[in-house]
Structure 1
Amino acid sequence: MFAKDGDVKVTAEVQIAGSTSAKSQSWLWAWANSNWPDNVMIGAKRVRSFGETNSIDELTQTYVTDVDDDLEVLGWELSAVAVRICDALGAYRSPSAEGDARYYIIKGISWAG
């Protein structure tokens, strides 16, 4: 949900795509993170299945290494892939702490109220 002055204005149905880590300089797919419940990883699991079907290593490996030394770009690129595969509306990146961030795909959005 998105709020202004404490009032909820917009609600969104989201799925976690994955997260980036400055320490490991990599992306971790949500489907590989045991901290997330299954109901928020449906999209990420669909991405993994697509990767398996089409032999795309970056979609089936637990970690994707940041070879271009731009972790934020890696997060957005892989989130964009998830948006496309899952026919989502877009992506959202949570505020980061020291280079770590979570990336979500937006499946639905509506005005609150």
Structure 2
Amino acid sequence: MIILLIMAGLIFCGASVYCFYKANYCACTQAGQCDNPVNHYWLGAMVNALVSLTFCCFALHVELGTLLWLTLMASCFLGAYISARHAKVKRCKNASSTNALLTNEPN
């Protein structure tokens, strides 16, 4: 039962991080155009984080559950950050190779 509660906490932790990054992406790329979805994404991030914290605290009681939740959140945020950086580097490499192909064409 404890493992199922921890797994549920991890799932909701991942959903919280997804909503957080989606809210930030929407706020940065479409400022002023998606205020309502940003509010929904922020609300989703907070609710999922609280549900995740609740599952972790039920699994391991308050002190250890909170430490587990902090560890889960930190690892999810770190994984998402590393993934975003890798995707950005990959996009930059693809864009630079495309620009090189376009500039080397004879007139």
TM-score after normalising by structure 1: 0.21
| Greater RCO (Cα-Cα under 8 Å, separation 6 or more) | 1
TM-score after normalising by structure 2: 0.22
